[in-house]
Amino acid sequence: MKKWFRIAGLVSVLILSGLLFAQQSTELPALKQEAVTEVDRLQTFTQQMVDQIFSYSELGFQEVETSRYVTGILEKNGFRVERGVAGIPTAWVATYGSGKPVIAFITDLDCIPRASQKPGVAYHDPMVEGAPGHGEGHNSGMAVNVTAALVLKKLLEGHKIAGTIKIFPGVAEEILGSKAFYVRAGLFKDVDIVLGAHVWHEFSTSYGTGDGKWSGLVSVQYFFHGKAAHAAGAPWDGRSALDGVSLMNAGWEFRREHLRLQQRSHYVIVNGGDQPNVVPSEAAVWYYFRELDYPHIKSLYGIGNTMADAAAKMSDTTVDRKLVGSAWPTHFNKVIAEWQQKNIEQVGMPNWSEADQTLAKALQKEIGAKVEGLKDKVTPLSEPMKDPIGGGSDDVGDISWNVPMVYLMYPANIPNLPGHSWANAVSMATPIAHKGSTAGAKVQAMTALDFLLQPELVKQAWDYFRNVETKEIHYESFLAPEDKPAIEMNKEKMERFRPQLKKYYYDPAKYKSYLEQLGISYPTVKAQP
């Protein structure tokens, strides 16, 4: 008898939960449609945010205006904002709602040195000569995520859906400076799913090692200390810190031939001394050591340290080092990627205008790239590459090893550009970036709804995370306990350029678009010879 009761009870629970699930799944398409309509309704808001952040042009760790602007909007819309998280003044977390699941959005804020460029102009024409600019397109990410979050807030309220929305800024992504510290500070402890967004010229997502063109890295500065002396009068009394730097670099160039082909390493001399008649007592060099996985990155870093110590010995100087950034190679979640892909396909590519295509083709021609305009099809989801070859890095990698995460690539830029240059800024405050960000916001909102309304998907994503991704590889931070975020970076540069950039801050109260404020006719291309 008792047994029968139990079985009957179980059956009714199953039927009930089946019914609830069926009800939710039929609601889901309607809710997604509502999200699409609401994102479209916010097109002007999205465009203004893209343009506003473009005009701020702030380098990593100095995203002061950008953070003030975005958190102000979020607070006005009922999000709780905690500022200065993880020991980083420009970092913050914005939260709305309550209960499970907790869906977090993240996207970058910072720009690129010397990438200042007038938007909509298909040749190099800086806004402010030598100034930083959005030569990667990070100005569009917050427009994508904040638009999606505002729409979700409305839907959660209107339909009484449980769940929490969080928004994180990718501070100092260009120097891989923040995410390992976010993880160390425990900011993702209660998060179930992370939906990152990054500007690209394709509409795509990926899982695992993706297209294989990602590396992890450590970014380290080596400071050599010597002894000043008159470089002609008494050079034998001096010890040149620049000699230390030069010997380290020469050593690295010889060693490079005997490293794995998958490694990528590069350096810049950040301090080479003051003037030739003074033996440099201080000099510094900054290295990025990139490899495909944690053990290989560690080993490359070790070789760098040995090289620095040996160079100091040869030059009779001393050396110390500071880790300024780190990133695990990315590994994105298959379950979330498959659901996100369906949404990408449903939203489809933006409708590019004749003017958009003219700008894209003129820029491609100008820089000697293949002239093919903008993409007109979304990218299918593909199997991860079996033998990754490595390439760029993103410190969201650290998050992807702590929480199930995907990285939406939304189509707000022009194909075939060099990356990290003025050329990549050309489209970033034009209708190309505006439409691409609106499309991205739709997918972010729809994917969040998938996971808010179907709790079993959250479980599936965690199953993949636990049983596939982290089955054999366990996250270990590159950070030593004494490492701190390099928040002083870019301070001087930004102080130098901010007054000039300020004159060009976008004023949406006066101008419909940034192009209108700057008086740029769209598109501006060189006359055909």
Q: What is residue 119's DSSP assignment? A: T
Distance, CA of 518 to CA of 28 (rounded, Å)? 43
The least distance separating Zn ion from the CB of residue 419, rounded to whole angstroms, comes to 9
Burial (CB count <10 Å: 0-12, 13-18, 19+), residue 23: exposed
Question: Which residue's CB is nearer to Zn ion, number 187 or number 396?
Answer: 396
Residues 285-304 that bind Zn ion (CB under 5 A): none
The least distance separating Zn ion from the CB of residue 125, rounded to whole angstroms, comes to 23
Residues present in the chain in total: 529
The least distance separating Zn ion from the CB of residue 295, rounded to whole angstroms, comes to 26
Question: Which residue's CB is nearer to Zn ion, number 379 or number 513?
Answer: 379
Q: Residue count at the site for Zn ion (CB under 5 A)?
A: 1
CA proximity to 58, closest of 210, 200, 169: 169
Question: Which residue's CB is nearer to Zn ion, number 279 or number 412?
Answer: 412
Question: Which residue's CB is nearer to Zn ion, number 59 or number 283?
Answer: 59
Output phi, psi for 242, to 5 deg. -65, -35
With CB atoms as reference, the residue minimizing the distance to Zn ion is: 136
Could you give the strand order of the β-sheet that contains 216-225, starting from the edge strand earlier in sequence?
264-271, 282-291, 216-225, 318-327
Question: Which residue's CB is nearer to Zn ion, number 135 or number 373?
Answer: 135
The tokens for 272 are: 């080479």
The number of CA neighbours under 13 Å toward the Cβ of 35 is 32
Q: Which residues partner with 200 through β-bridges?
A: 411
The least distance separating Zn ion from the CB of residue 289, rounded to whole angstroms, comes to 19
Question: Which residue's CB is nearer to Zn ion, number 196 or number 404?
Answer: 196
Distance, CA of 59 to CA of 66 (rounded, Å)? 10
The tokens for 414 are: 């022009």
Question: From residue 209, how far is each of 42, 251, 292, 389 by CA, in Å?
Answer: 34, 32, 10, 10
The least distance separating Zn ion from the CB of residue 403, rounded to whole angstroms, comes to 20
Question: Which residue's CB is nearer to Zn ion, number 136 or number 291?
Answer: 136
Site track 427-456 with Zn ion (rule: CB under 5 A), x = hit? ------------------------------
Site track 192-231 with Zn ion (rule: CB under 5 A), x = hit? ----------------------------------------
Question: From residue 8, how far is each of 15, 276, 490 by CA, in Å?
Answer: 10, 90, 67
Residues 125-164 that bind Zn ion (CB under 5 A): 136
The least distance separating Zn ion from the CB of residue 115, rounded to whole angstroms, comes to 12
The least distance separating Zn ion from the CB of residue 141, rounded to whole angstroms, comes to 8
Residues near Zn ion (CB under 5 A) are 136
